[in-house]
Every structure is written in structure tokens, then in C-alpha cells.
């Protein structure tokens, strides 16, 4: 039991170092953007992208990175299960919403004008 706990702690510590390294690489990419201020913009952007790509690669080797990857795969699978509305259904629903908004606007306008007329009559 003690050996398993020590192994778990060592894995957690390694993950912390990997996450710290990933953050450092991302920051290095951002720093490269400013450090290369005299260079062409494409080189500066490449420095940021390279730093973020290296950070993502290091983060992917950690346990939280693997869990995030699994979560993203499950999310993609769930998105594929969604039954998306057809174009016709989308247009019909949008039309109903617009019609409701117009009817509600007219109703509120009538109420507003009626209340204004009542107030004018009461105040003389």
C-alpha cells in the first residue's frame, strides 16, 4: 500500500512538472513574438505557434492531458449523435420566431398607446 501511494505521488509530481513545462513553453512562444520584434510577422507568428504546439505536446503526455483528450473524443462522439434540424425546419422555426416578435411588438405598441391615451384623458 505504501509503494502504491508513493508511485501515485511520483506520478502526480511528474504531471506537475509536465504542466509547468507546458506553461513555460507557451510563455516562451509568446516571449519569442516580442523578442523577434524586428523580424517579419510570419516568423513572429510561427514562434507563437511553435511554442503553443510544443506546450500542447508536453501537456498531452500528462495525466490531465490524457483525460482532456479522452473528454474531447467523447464530446466529438456525442456531437455526432445529435440530430440536427434540416434547412426547412430551421427556416420554419426562424419564421415562427420572427412572426411572434412582430405580433408581440404590435401588442405592446397597442398597450402603450392605450395607456398613453388613458393617462392623457385622466390628466386633462
Task: Confirm if 63 and 15 have CB atoms less than 8 A apart.
Answer: yes
Q: Cα torsion for 68, 15, 62, 59, to the nearest 10°?
A: 80
Provide the whole-model pTM: 0.56
pLDDT in tens, 25-46: 999 999 999 999 888 999 999 9
User: Which regions of the chain are under pLDDT 50?
Assistant: 1
Amino acid at each position: 500500500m505504501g509503494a502504491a501511494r508513493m508511485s501515485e505521488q511520483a506520478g502526480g509530481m511528474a504531471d506537475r512538472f509536465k504542466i509547468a513545462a507546458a506553461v513555460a513553453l507557451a510563455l516562451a512562444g509568446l516571449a519569442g513574438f516580442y523578442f523577434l520584434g524586428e523580424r517579419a510577422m510570419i516568423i513572429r507568428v510561427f514562434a507563437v505557434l511553435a511554442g503553443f504546439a510544443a506546450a500542447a505536446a508536453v501537456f498531452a503526455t500528462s495525466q490531465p492531458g490524457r483525460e482532456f483528450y479522452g473528454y474531447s473524443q467523447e464530446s466529438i462522439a456525442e456531437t455526432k449523435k445529435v440530430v440536427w434540424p434540416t434547412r426547412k425546419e430551421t427556416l420554419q422555426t426562424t419564421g415562427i420566431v420572427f412572426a411572434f416578435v412582430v405580433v408581440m411588438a404590435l401588442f405592446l405598441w397597442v398597450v402603450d398607446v392605450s395607456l398613453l391615451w388613458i393617462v392623457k384623458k385622466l390628466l386633462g
